[in-house]
Structure 1
Amino acid sequence: MAIREEGAGVWYHRGQVFCTMRRFDEAIDCYDKALELSPDDPVLWRRKGFALIKTGRYREALACFDQALAIDPEDATAWQRKGYTLACLGWNEDAVACCDRAITLDPQHILAWQSRGWLLGVMCRYDEAVTCYEAVIRLDPDRGSAAWHRERMQERKDLAALASEVLEAEEFMEVPACIRDVVAERDYGNVGLARAVLRELAGRVERGAVQRPV
């Protein structure tokens, strides 16, 4: 990592203050001035990228993270933020790969685990998402948001299982509307009951088919 020029440090800290105030455009201007003085500082590129994310300028942010990683390929935070930016652009597989790289470099990088869990949830890979949030909880047991997201992933997994079971059952029986409504309305609170009732009804139909004389 390059040594930051003294003047660049002043502009860097000004940018930090503007970020704290959520005045991100002004923060970007400060980081640009800092980069004019210290263009090989990966932290400056990373901070500018962060501010660009906050203004919705994702492609510019991505370029900043790429520049930071060109200077310091082992910057786990730059990999995590690049992953987040790619996700915002809809490139989820590439985003997961970036989070994986961040975690390889720093297995205790909580934000990388969180970003990976969020992405996998979006991709309906619920078991893997749960594993990510459990990793966050192990690293920070007091992080209530991770426990909340873990429960939501389990709910989505169960709802997806119910939807699949409904499709299978519809091939040989009439599925009650109340069960189909649980799926349509994303009624997570009644998923367990709906699955149990559906299994019982499907079992009755199957037993009746076996017992029916030829």
Structure 2
Amino acid sequence: MATRDEDAERWYHRGQVLCTTRCFNDAVVCYDKALELSPDDPLLWKRKGFALIKAGRYDEAVACFDKALAADPDDATAWQRKSYALAHLGKHEDAVACCDRALRLDPEHILAWQSRGWVLGVMCRYDEALECYEAVLSIDPERGSAAWHRERMRERRELAALEAEIREAERIIEVPACIRDVARERDYANVDLARMLLCELARRAERAAIQRR
């Protein structure tokens, strides 16, 4: 912990307590009081940024992490948390870049891997997202949240493949409503069956077209 004013220390700990009770906006006020006394303390900026994320104040959170990183650019956690705030602002490419920076500093930073996987999933880059969750599980095989998200990415990847195959098949066949319903209703349990059926229908249509020539 950086050296800080004694009164700033008290405000810092008061903010910490308020965070544990989920009073995040009140915690921000405490961190501001601490920062008035120790304005160059990167930990105070980082803790304020965290409280702002929890309060849903993402623009302000990014500014706090920028302050923290100006003082300590090698703080992998600050980069990861900045990524999280940027993602909530819709700045997905910038969020991925922040995760990459965090992981260059700490290749086993689990939250950076998870944040990266989450953002890539939002961007529909499912294969890359899967790689992130695999990385988490290679570090911590018992991390259930990563295993859960890995399965969700697999499901979304397969659904995206079905949607693409439906668009392709529409050029040669009338796609049955039951297959369209699987995609429309996001019926993950039946995606594999729908893909196999669609493939067979398309194959039959292609064979029939060849025979008519």
Answering whether residue 58 of structure 2 is matched by residue 58 of structure 1, we say yes
Cα distance in 1 for partners of 2:25, 2:206 equals 65
Aligned residues: 213
Moved more, 29-38 or 95-104: 29-38
For 1:99, what is the secondary structure of its paired residue?
helix
Where structure 2 has 5 or more consecutive residues not aligned to the other structure, the ranges are none
Counterpart of 2:103 in structure 1 is 103
- Aligned sequence identity (%): 73
Q: Read off the aligned partner of 2:64 and give its amino acid letter.
A: C
1:85-139 alpha-carbon deviations (Å, 9 max, x no partner):
1111111111111111111111111111111100000000000000111111112
Cα distance in 2 for partners of 1:26, 1:167 equals 52
Cα distance in 2 for partners of 1:26, 1:183 equals 45
Counterpart of 1:114 in structure 2 is 114
1:7 CA displacement: 2.6
1:156-211 alpha-carbon deviations (Å, 9 max, x no partner):
00000011111111101111110111111111000000001111111111111112
Matched-pair contact (CA < 8 Å) for 1:2–1:40 = no
For 1:3, what is the secondary structure of its paired residue?
coil
Cα distance in 1 for partners of 2:165, 2:203 equals 13
For 2:124, what is the secondary structure of its paired residue?
coil
Counterpart of 2:152 in structure 1 is 152
Counterpart of 2:24 in structure 1 is 24
Cα distance in 2 for partners of 1:176, 1:120 equals 32
Cα distance in 1 for partners of 2:170, 2:75 equals 51
Counterpart of 2:162 in structure 1 is 162
Cα distance in 1 for partners of 2:156, 2:133 equals 14
Counterpart of 2:47 in structure 1 is 47
Q: Read off the aligned partner of 2:68 and give its amino acid letter.
A: A
1:6 CA displacement: 2.8
TM-score by length of 1: 0.96
Counterpart of 1:185 in structure 2 is 185
Counterpart of 1:198 in structure 2 is 198
TM-score by length of 2: 0.96
Where structure 1 has 5 or more consecutive residues not aligned to the other structure, the ranges are none
